[in-house]
Amino acid sequence: MDVLLLSRLQFALTIMFHYLFPPLTIGLGAVLVGCMSLWWATDEARYEAMARFWTRIFAVNFAMGVATGIVMEFEFGTNWAAYSRYVGDVFGSALAAEGIFAFFLESGFLGILVFGWDRVSRPVHWFASLMVFLGSVFSSVWIVIANSWMHTPAGYHIVEGPSGPRAEITDFWAMVFNPSSMERLWHVWSGSFILGGAFVCSIAAWYVLRDRHQWFAERSFKAGLVVLTLGSWSALLSGHQAGETVAEYQPAKLAAFEGHFHTEAAPLWLFGVPDTEAQEVRYGIAVPGGLSLLVHMDPNHPMEGLAETPKEDWPNVDLVFQTYHGMLTIGMFFLAITTLALGLWATGRLFRYRLVLWTFVGAVLPAYAGNQLGWISVEVGRQPWIVHGMLRTDEALSEMVTAEMVAGSILMFGTVYSLLFVVWWWVLNGKIQHGPDEPVERLPSEAREGLLTVAARGRMADGEG
Amino acid sequence: MDWATLWFVLLGVLLAGYAILDGFDLGVGMLHLLVAKTDHERRLVLNSIGPLWDGNEVWLVTFGGALFAAFPEAYATTFSGFYLPFMLLLNMLIFRAAAIEFRSKVQSDTWRWLWDIAFSVASGGTTLLMGVAVGNLVWGVELEDGIMVGSTLDLLHPYALAVGTLAVSLFAMHGSIYLYLKTEGELQERLVPWMWRTFGVFNGLYVLVTMATLVLRPDVTRHLQTYPAAWLLVAANIGAVMNIPRSIFKGNAGQAFASSTFVVACLVFLLGAALYPNLVPALGDGESLTIFLAASSESTLKLMALIAGLGMPMVVSYTAIVYWTFRGKVKLGENAY
């Protein structure tokens, strides 16, 4: 295999594994701030137990996000040196801003959130949870800005740099608010809320089914359901917005998403198999004029087909089409099950049907898959460009890095990540099986007497983390 | 001062911040198996850095991001040039994070023993690799048109390995003093000989590496000739090194820690003085990659300076809040590692 394909595989492996964690911690962070607020407002020990449980779950996932995130920051330089030289002025700035504004905030206050129970007052602790959540949100802001710039570059010019042409910032705010950044950010947050909500619902529904931690499980399920519902509708709206921008700025990508080969009124394929030779979609069902209607409010409006783009500038249509449709299907699935659950809730039957609860237990998997599939379709859809219309992916590699070196690194990451995945799964499962602690009512004066509380629970030298 | 030089200094500040803060927690990791005998003691060692290590590592991440933004040519050249060592480094950092997070989460001796080993090896290995990278920067690398062309094995020459070992001994010493400050009783007493040992090794290597550098790379003192006042920094550094054993002897570990902190910072700034204006010096007749060749546009450097000016005071304030919150001797709370 050539170094280009290997480097892309390496990036795909490391970013996909990394992206199991950040959207979860953003979504879960929102739930956590909610728990901390309720605890502070009501002073109920049951809410404290709830906040503590979700903090423990959060911490495990956060640590995984940190451990796998450093790789991403280094990988641009190790594997994509030519890209780094070309865009460092623009892209590097967004990354540095992420470090300064986001990472310090979240990692600093994470220490207080996780270890501060007996050391800081409740308002400070609440503040720490808010800062950790905000830090993860800021992080998503900067990284999505940097990534969106690769899709719809703006606020730059190309000049002769020390080692050839390169992009330099001319207008910082135009770079930040490039045409796709805000709606893609909105869409990323939607995906994070779907994952965070589905994750909480999954665990809570399982406790309900097992008759465990009744009060905790029902509250958590409802909180998760609210976040999941918001995320699902928001994903629909933001996805629609993002689609319109793609239609305007990256028509070839939209055409690949939708399997639209010829410039004419575009149908909306529900599913199918694109045939790039015959330039048509086979074995599918489509809403005639559906895509034209969505983008232009007119079912007969012609839309640019993939045939307008030279074939060497096509992305991998099969992969982009299928991953995109997979994401859409998952989005529809979440709209359906949240609507159903809200209906049951309104009529007081939320926890009555085991089948519904089991569906929610399993729904965390499509939530992970939806986030991953969306990213695959959008990033593979950008190909063969690394920066749309500016720099091709095959021109972006490191000059001196060979296929053997990249293959070696894939082997190393593959091994380490597999191991890490198993460990993460095992530890997380242990925490879920253990469940939240029984709430301990304590006197107001005790609230800050950390050691007393710990001693009272008799868990001082216990191994439980 | 021009903007490229300002960013060279700011990168030095980020690197010094990283070396001081992650330096002690890497050192703690190296000593983990050597000083802590029981499970309870090992948990104390882990939790002495528990709430802090993650924030400390962010200094490295931000250093990487700032290097990318301010000097993309140097970022691209060094990161792709040190490919295999950096891949190894990344995997060690992953293992280290995982070890800290997962070690105490399962009640099994084998499980904990394996993670203890991972924690120690990854801490030492991370430090060694970073030290070797620094050694190569002082020594110079094979550059052609701003691209590193040597093989990975070329990077493992004796000088680079000596600098790597120096880094290991420095962080181990820094960490042993930190751990002494955070612990009590028997565990604390066990740290006293380790402070002496690590200081002894560090001191020996420091003299050796300094002499080797002056003999083999006499060029490093060129700025000190131009600015004789800079010799004061060298003198202060030597004074601080000497003050470490004095403070340990007097039982004033706080002062010893302040001194080792100063030494770490001084060494980073001396590294900067030795390199400037090069970021990646070339061996032989090759053209070195200077900050001027490697820099982003001036407007971006200004913009980044604004971002740093806004962000760094906030960073310093929450770093201070977190360190203040977790001051004093380490205790195992309910959520401890």
Residue A465 has pLDDT above 70, yes or no: no
Cα distances from A110 to residues A201, A214, A441, B55, B319, in angstroms, run 24, 29, 25, 9, 12
Mean pLDDT of B219-246: 88
Residues in B touching A90 (Cβ below 8 Å): 300
Cβ pair A108:B303 closer than 8 A? no
- pLDDT computed for residue A443 by the predictor: 54
Mutating which of A10, A76, A106, A448 best tests the B interface, going by the most B Cβ atoms within 10 A?
A76
Residues in A touching B146 (Cβ below 8 Å): 162-163
Q: In this predicted complex, what is the ipTM?
A: 0.88
In a domain, A64, yes or no: yes
pLDDT level of residue A450 (50, 70, 90 thresholds): very low
Q: Which amino acid, A83?
A: Y
The model's pLDDT over A275-311, given as tens digits with 9 standing for 90+, comes to 888 888 888 888 888 888 888 888 888 888 888 888 8
Residues in B touching A98 (Cβ below 8 Å): 65
Mean pLDDT of B288-297: 89
Residue A418 distance to chain B (closest CA, Å): 12
- Sign of the CA dihedral B216, B222, B227, B230? negative
pLDDT level of residue A162 (50, 70, 90 thresholds): confident
Q: Which of B65, B72, B322 sits opposite A111 (nearest CB)?
A: B322
Residues in B touching A74 (Cβ below 8 Å): 64, 79, 86, 90
Cα distances from B319 to residues A81, B49, B316, B326, B328, in angstroms, run 33, 14, 5, 11, 16
- pLDDT computed for residue A442 by the predictor: 62
- pLDDT computed for residue A458 by the predictor: 45
Cβ pair A84:B60 closer than 8 A? no
Number of helices and strands in chain A (H, E): 17, 8
* Residue B294 touches partner A, C-beta closer than 8 Å: yes
Cis ω before B158 (30° cut-off from 0): no
H/E element, B252: none
- pLDDT computed for residue A454 by the predictor: 45
In a domain, A460, yes or no: no
Cβ pair B335:A114 closer than 8 A? yes
| Alpha helical stretches, state H, A306-437 | 317-346, 354-362, 364-382, 403-434
Q: Which of residues 230-269 of B touch A (CB under 8 A)?
A: none
The model's pLDDT over A71-96, given as tens digits with 9 standing for 90+, comes to 998 999 999 999 999 998 999 888 88
Q: Find the angle CA(A79)-CA(A81)-CA(A83) to the nearest 5 degrees.
A: 105
- How many structural domains is chain A composed of? 1
Q: Which of B70, B83, B102 sits opposite A401 (nearest CB)?
A: B83
Residue B268 distance to chain A (closest CA, Å): 21
- pLDDT computed for residue B1 by the predictor: 75
Cβ pair A84:B307 closer than 8 A? no
Cβ pair A168:B296 closer than 8 A? yes
In a domain, A343, yes or no: yes
Residues A353-375: b if buried by 16+ CB within 10 A, e if exposed: eeebbebbbebbebbbebbbbbb
Q: Find the angle CA(B45)-CA(B57)-CA(B2) to the nearest 5 degrees.
A: 140
Q: Which of A71, A172, A399 sits opposite B147 (nearest CB)?
A: A399
Question: Rounded to an integer, what distance in angstroms lies between the CA atom of residue B326 and that of residue B52?
Answer: 9
Q: Is B143 helix (H, G, I), strand (E, B) or coil?
A: strand
Per the model's pLDDT, the better-predicted residue between A440 and A203 turns out to be A203
Q: How does DSSP classify residue A103?
A: I
The tokens describing A176, both together, are 């930040």
In a domain, A463, yes or no: no
Residues in A touching B331 (Cβ below 8 Å): 451
Percent of chain A's residues with pLDDT above 70: 95
Bridge-based pairing of strands A156-161 and B289-290 is: unpaired
Cβ pair A104:B58 closer than 8 A? yes
Q: How many CB atoms lie within 10 A of CB B306?
A: 11
Question: Rounded to an integer, what distance in angstroms lies between the CA atom of residue B195 and that of residue B192?
Answer: 5
Q: Which of residues 3-42 of B touch A (CB under 8 A)?
A: 39-40
CA dihedral (A182, A185, A189, A194) in degrees, to 10, reads: 110
Q: Are A132 and A110 in contact (CB under 8 A)?
A: yes
Phi, psi of A280 (to 5 degrees): -155, 165
In a domain, A403, yes or no: yes
In a domain, A93, yes or no: yes
In a domain, A148, yes or no: yes
Mutating which of B10, B43, B54, B149 best tests the A interface, going by the most A Cβ atoms within 10 A?
B54
Q: Find the angle CA(B105)-CA(A111)-CA(A42) to the nearest 5 degrees.
A: 95
Cβ pair B73:A459 closer than 8 A? no
Per the model's pLDDT, the better-predicted residue between A1 and A393 turns out to be A393
Residue A445 has pLDDT above 60, yes or no: no
The model's pLDDT over B37-93, given as tens digits with 9 standing for 90+, comes to 898 899 999 999 988 998 898 899 899 999 999 999 999 999 999 999 999 999 999
Mean pLDDT of A111-118: 88
Q: Which of B58, B65, B334 sits opposite A107 (nearest CB)?
A: B58
Bridge-based pairing of strands A302-303 and B143-144 is: unpaired
Residue B267 has pLDDT above 90, yes or no: yes
The number of residues making up chain A comes to 465
Residues in B touching A127 (Cβ below 8 Å): none
pLDDT level of residue A459 (50, 70, 90 thresholds): very low
Cα distances from B87 to residues A6, A296, B101, B160, in angstroms, run 15, 48, 21, 18
- pLDDT computed for residue B241 by the predictor: 93
Q: Are A392 and A386 in contact (CB under 8 A)?
A: yes
Q: Are B52 and A61 in contact (CB under 8 A)?
A: no
Residue B193 has pLDDT above 90, yes or no: yes
Cβ pair B146:A163 closer than 8 A? yes
Mean pLDDT of B241-256: 92
Residues in B touching A89 (Cβ below 8 Å): 69, 72, 296-297, 300
Question: Which residue in A240, A397, A392 sits closest to A314, CA to CA?
Answer: A392
Residue B232 distance to chain A (closest CA, Å): 32
Q: Find the angle CA(B106)-CA(B110)-CA(B111) to the nearest 5 degrees.
A: 35
The model's pLDDT over B138-172, given as tens digits with 9 standing for 90+, comes to 998 888 888 888 788 888 899 999 999 999 999 99
Q: B309: buried, middle or exposed (CB in 10 Å: 19+, 13-18, 0-12)?
A: exposed
- pLDDT computed for residue B120 by the predictor: 95
- pLDDT computed for residue A248 by the predictor: 86
Cβ pair B76:A409 closer than 8 A? no
Number of helices and strands in chain B (H, E): 13, 4
Residue A121 has pLDDT above 90, yes or no: no
Structural domain including A229 reads 3-453
The tokens describing B73, both together, are 């040519």
Question: Rounded to an integer, what distance in angstroms lies between the CA atom of residue A310 and that of residue A294?
Answer: 26
Mean pLDDT of A143-149: 94
- Long-range Cβ contacts of A403-407 (<8 Å, 24+ apart): A403/A1, A403/A2, A403/A3, A403/A6, A405/B83, A405/B84, A406/A3, A406/A6, A406/A7, A406/A10, A406/A79, A407/A1, A407/A6
In a domain, A278, yes or no: yes
Per the model's pLDDT, the better-predicted residue between B168 and A99 turns out to be B168
